[in-house]
Chains A and B, each alone.
Chain A
Amino acid sequence: MSYVEPSVAIELTGRARRRRLLRKRFLRRPIAVIGLVVALTFIAVAALAPWIAPYAPDYSDFNQILAHSSREHLLGTDELGRDVFSRIIWGSRASIMAGVLATMLAIVIAVPIGLIAGYYRGWIDPVIARLTDVLLAFPFLILAVGLAAILGPSLRNATIALGIAAVPGLIRVSRGEALSLREEDYIRAAIANGASDARIIRKHVFPNMLSTLIVQATVIIPAAIIGEAVLSFLGLGVQSPDTSWGVMLADGKDYLTTAPRLCLYAGLAIFFCSLSFNLLGDGLRDVLDPRTSR
């Protein structure tokens, strides 16, 4: 092998030290830690819904229609006598699934495209840049609504629509990162050492993009969570009787005069869920920002 990896040992210990430093910096931010804990709680609730929720999401107690909160029904019941607390727990599944999977989908599609455009430049870069501009001409939610309409209403399709709608913005970010990283001295050194493009991208460009991507993910997740709620609210996502926070808002809006609490609880769930990811994202941005971490 003609390519010599310089000072592997030092780099490894340096990386470990950096990781420890980042963890310390993160733990010193109580608000970011709270964000992480709450976000993880929402994920755990979504995963464990069948075991936590006191009732099945579609179980109707017709003796208790639009009941106020009680020992039996912590947050009361809705217009069909369904337990609101249980439905919020079950509804977290749709939100977390849409939020996390849509973000993963966007990353899987956008990052390779952005990397290729930014790293290779040449004719491919302006082509990708223009195509991104075209997709960016459609606002995120309009794109998601349009795609959801094309794909048909369901949680899976709403997730795909939200993921694809997040792609153009993410391509732009990863392309910009790859463009600037390419000019770094260590990349030039690797090229001079005769490393292959694939190796440089895998070993040098991509790892250095990670912090930006993590921060981007914490921006896209809450956007997708709210996006799912909007799509379901408009009838383009999860369909009743299946539950999601957006569906609960859509059902509850007809009872705004008699039982505004139906909308209140579902909306608070969306709010706290997206707030937790935003807090986490802000904290991570402060910690990972290379200008402050060196």
Chain B
Amino acid sequence: MGGFLLRRVGAALIVLLLASMLVFLGIRALPGDPATALGAENRDPEVMTAIRHHYGLDQPIPVQYVKWLSLAVQGDLGSDQRELPVAHTIVERLPTTLELAFLSIMVGIVIGIPAGIIAAVRQRKASDYVATTGALVGLSVPHFWLGLMMISLFAVNLRWLPASGFVPFTEDPVANLQHMVMPAIVLGTGLSAVLMRQMRSSMLNSLGADYVRTARAKGLPERSVVMKHALRNSLITVTTIIGLQLGALISGVVVTESIFVIPGFGRLTLDAINQRDYTLLQGVVLVSAAGYVFVNLTVDVLYSVLNPRIRVAGTRT
């Protein structure tokens, strides 16, 4: 187990290191000179040189990279255009997005997993077709459009929920949840469609397996066969799917937060792009890549704990 863990962590660190290089080079490839953005209206060549020198932009790219990375691992991601520390801004915005992500995953699980189980148990019956069709619709709907339609229906017409904005949970939990309901449903339904399909196919696999037949032959009630034997093995696969779906969730957060005007991490990403704030964008993309790699590492390790066959087999191809 120790060797396995070490290997996985090592691979994740290498991926992260290469990703940081890619982020750094990618930001350098953006059109426009960061010095011009920083200098605002001032186009005086002397001022430009001073700005370049101040931000170290006159040094070779590898030197800039090493400098940036060594500060980044210490938690210093530099300052943005408004001279605010990027790391601080990110830490400030992150909890909002994490709450949204958590609620969305909950919505996804609550809808997707039971729907998948029912569809598998009642294969080729009406409830299976309803669930499968629902999942297809959930996969095909553009979620930012779903958000717009929900605002139009629940906020504008019915006036049940606020259209946009955000209230911190610590200030007013009820208002906070009222603002989070629609975004969480928008993001969660997409996830639930994926989970439902995965759950269904994995349950169908389990229900056809020998150990389920054994359990049935022992005379166990169908309910306990499904819930205890088949479900437990299917959940392993579904855990990994939730991890892999995090990428889609991060992408979804960017658009959803922009529609519902939520001051979270996704909104920050868009603002950084629109304002051509290179330092901020660099930090935001690095943090999202790091988060994604970390979650996938956790899922990988968790998976091997739940399923010893992977661990024994060692490297996966």
**Contact status A137-B16, CB under 8 Å:** yes
Number of interface residues of A (CB under 8 A): 43
Residue among A136, A235, A282 with the highest chain B CB neighbour number at 10 A: A136
**Contact status A138-B152, CB under 8 Å:** no
In the assembled complex, the Cα of A142 lies from the Cα of B16 at a distance in Å of 16
In the assembled complex, the Cα of A235 lies from the Cα of B258 at a distance in Å of 12
**Contact status A149-B30, CB under 8 Å:** yes
**Contact status A179-B139, CB under 8 Å:** no
With both chains docked as a complex, state the minimum distance between the C-beta of B314 and any C-beta of chain A, in angstroms: 15
**Contact status B141-A263, CB under 8 Å:** no
**Within the complex, which residue of B15, B152, B254, B270 is in contact with A263, where a contact is CB–CB below 8 Å?**
B152
In the assembled complex, the Cα of A236 lies from the Cα of B152 at a distance in Å of 24
Q: Does B288 contact A (CB under 8 A)?
A: yes
**Chain B contacts for A270, CB-based, 8 A:** 142, 145
**Contact status A229-B142, CB under 8 Å:** yes
With both chains docked as a complex, state the minimum distance between the C-beta of B241 and any C-beta of chain A, in angstroms: 15
Q: Does A49 contact B (CB under 8 A)?
A: no
Q: Does B6 contact A (CB under 8 A)?
A: no
In the assembled complex, the Cα of A264 lies from the Cα of B259 at a distance in Å of 15
Q: Does B14 contact A (CB under 8 A)?
A: yes
**Within the complex, which residue of B14, B26, B31, B156 is in contact with A256, where a contact is CB–CB below 8 Å?**
B156
Q: Does B269 contact A (CB under 8 A)?
A: yes
**Chain A contacts for B18, CB-based, 8 A:** 130-131, 134
**Within the complex, which residue of B136, B254, B317 is in contact with A279, where a contact is CB–CB below 8 Å?**
B136
Q: Does A139 contact B (CB under 8 A)?
A: yes
Q: Which of B50-58, B86-94, B170-178, B243-251 contacts A (4 or more CB under 8 A)?
A: B243-251
**Within the complex, which residue of A138, A229, A271 is in contact with B289, where a contact is CB–CB below 8 Å?**
A138
**Chain A contacts for B251, CB-based, 8 A:** 139-142
Q: Does A81 contact B (CB under 8 A)?
A: no
Q: Chain B: which residue is nearest A274 at the CB level?
A: B140
In the assembled complex, the Cα of A267 lies from the Cα of B186 at a distance in Å of 14
In the assembled complex, the Cα of A24 lies from the Cα of B137 at a distance in Å of 26
Q: Chain A: which residue is nearest B292 at the CB level?
A: A137
**Contact status A137-B30, CB under 8 Å:** no
With both chains docked as a complex, state the minimum distance between the C-beta of B125 and any C-beta of chain A, in angstroms: 17
Given contacts A134-B18, A263-B152, whether A142 and B30 have CB atoms under 8 Å apart is no
**Contact status A140-B248, CB under 8 Å:** yes
**Within the complex, which residue of A150, A263, A274, A279 is in contact with B26, where a contact is CB–CB below 8 Å?**
A150
Write out, one digit per residue, whether chain A residues 84-96 have a CB within 8 A of any chain B CB (1) or not (0).
Answer: 0000000000000
**Contact status A263-B148, CB under 8 Å:** yes
In the assembled complex, the Cα of A164 lies from the Cα of B30 at a distance in Å of 16
**Chain B contacts for A197, CB-based, 8 A:** none
**Chain B contacts for A137, CB-based, 8 A:** 15-16, 19, 289, 292-293
In the assembled complex, the Cα of A271 lies from the Cα of B11 at a distance in Å of 39
**Chain B contacts for A149, CB-based, 8 A:** 30, 273
**Within the complex, which residue of B15, B144, B156, B250 is in contact with A142, where a contact is CB–CB below 8 Å?**
B250
Q: Does A201 contact B (CB under 8 A)?
A: no
Q: Does A61 contact B (CB under 8 A)?
A: no
**Contact status A134-B288, CB under 8 Å:** no
Q: Chain A: which residue is nearest B18 at the CB level?
A: A134
Q: Chain B: which residue is nearest A121 at the CB level?
A: B317
**Contact status B247-A140, CB under 8 Å:** yes
Query: B1-52: which have CB < 8 Å to A?
Result: 11, 14-16, 18-19, 22, 26, 29-31
Q: Does A152 contact B (CB under 8 A)?
A: yes
In the assembled complex, the Cα of A260 lies from the Cα of B269 at a distance in Å of 28
**Within the complex, which residue of A138, A229, A256, A278 is in contact with B140, where a contact is CB–CB below 8 Å?**
A278
**Chain A contacts for B152, CB-based, 8 A:** 256-257, 260, 263-264
**Within the complex, which residue of B142, B148, B288, B317 is in contact with A139, where a contact is CB–CB below 8 Å?**
B288
**Within the complex, which residue of A142, A249, A278 is in contact with B254, where a contact is CB–CB below 8 Å?**
A142
Query: B126-163: which have CB < 8 Å to A?
Result: 136-137, 139-142, 144-146, 148-149, 151-152, 156
**Contact status B273-A145, CB under 8 Å:** yes
With both chains docked as a complex, state the minimum distance between the C-beta of B300 and any C-beta of chain A, in angstroms: 12
In the assembled complex, the Cα of A264 lies from the Cα of B136 at a distance in Å of 19
Q: Does B310 contact A (CB under 8 A)?
A: no
Q: Does B72 contact A (CB under 8 A)?
A: no
**Contact status B250-A226, CB under 8 Å:** no
Q: Chain B: which residue is nearest A125 at the CB level?
A: B317
Q: Does B255 contact A (CB under 8 A)?
A: yes
Query: B270-286: which have CB < 8 Å to A?
Result: 270, 273-274, 285
The 3 A-B pairs of least Cβ separation, nearest first, read A141-B251, A267-B145, A139-B247
A230-B142, A256-B148, A275-B136 given; 18 more Cβ-contact pairs under 8 Å: A134-B15, A134-B18, A134-B19, A137-B19, A137-B292, A141-B254, A222-B140, A229-B142, A229-B144, A234-B255, A234-B258, A249-B145, A253-B259, A263-B148, A264-B149, A270-B142, A271-B141, A282-B136
For this complex, 10 residue pairs linking A to B, each with C-beta atoms less than 8 Å apart, are A135-B22, A137-B293, A138-B288, A141-B254, A145-B254, A229-B142, A249-B144, A256-B156, A267-B142, A270-B145
Which B residues have a C-beta under 8 Å from some C-beta of A? Answer: 11, 14-16, 18-19, 22, 26, 29-31, 136-137, 139-142, 144-146, 148-149, 151-152, 156, 246-248, 250-252, 254-255, 258-259, 269-270, 273-274, 285, 288-289, 292-293, 317
